[in-house]
């Protein structure tokens, strides 16, 4: 990623997402809008990078939720597997990941993910 973004969040939801899937969807929108503020705010402090840089060649296009495990309002952990499509340099790509989410101070946050083929 390039293009550092430190502007106020433009894609953060009005209320914090109540499920891991809802948080995943909001984070995808944040990637689409290059909203580093929301991405960092919704990332677990233990695994959060100091900053994010976006690749100006990448344009995120669509999100498909493949699977969810737990991650509901009463859960403390959840998994969301997704495929996100993007365009980069005129080529279509797919990011396939199985992401882990946990509660931190009562809110869902992204912990980490395993990239799939």
Asked whether the predicted pLDDT for residue 19 surpasses 80, the reply is yes
DSSP per-residue letters across 31-85: HHTT-HHHHHHTB-TTT--S--B--TTEEEEEEEEEEEEE-STT-SEEEEEEEEE
Instruction: Give the model's confidence band at 1: pLDDT under 50 very low, under 70 low, under 90 confident, else very high.
Output: very low
Q: Give per-residue pLDDT as tens, 84-106.
A: 999 999 999 999 999 999 999 99
Q: Quote the pLDDT of residue 6.
A: 45
Share of the chain above pLDDT 70, in %: 91
Contact 73, 99 (CB under 8 A): no
Per-residue pLDDT for 16 more than 60?
yes
pLDDT over 70 (residue 7): no
The predicted model gives 28-57 an average pLDDT of 97
Chain-centre distance for alpha carbon 30: 7
Residue with tokens 């994010």: 52
What order do you get walking across the sheet with 58-70 strand by strand? Answer: 58-70, 77-88, 91-104, 107-116
Is the pLDDT at 75 greater than 90, yes or no?
yes
| Alpha carbon distance 50, 59 (integer Å) | 23
Burial grade of 36 (CB within 10 A; 0-12, 13-18, 19 or more):
buried
Encoding tokens for residue 89?
Answer: 């340099």
Stretch 3-18: mean pLDDT? 68
| pLDDT surpassing 60 at residue 8 | no
* Res. 48 pLDDT band, cuts 50 70 90: very high
- pTM score, whole prediction: 0.89
């Amino acid at each position: 990623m390039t293009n550092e973004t430190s502007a106020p969040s433009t894609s953060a939801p009005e209320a914090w997402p109540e499920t891991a899937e809802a948080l995943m969807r909001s984070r995808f929108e944040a990637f689409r809008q290059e909203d580093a503020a929301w991405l960092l705010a919704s990332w677990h402090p233990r695994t959060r990078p100091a900053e994010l840089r976006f690749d100006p060649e990448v344009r995120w296009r669509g999100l498909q939720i493949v699977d969810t495990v737990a991650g509901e309002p009463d859960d403390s952990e959840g998994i969301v597997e997704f495929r996100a499509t993007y365009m980069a340099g005129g080529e279509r790509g797919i990011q396939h990941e199985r992401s882990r989410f946990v509660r931190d101070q009562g809110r869902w946050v992204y912990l980490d993910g395993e990239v799939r083929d």
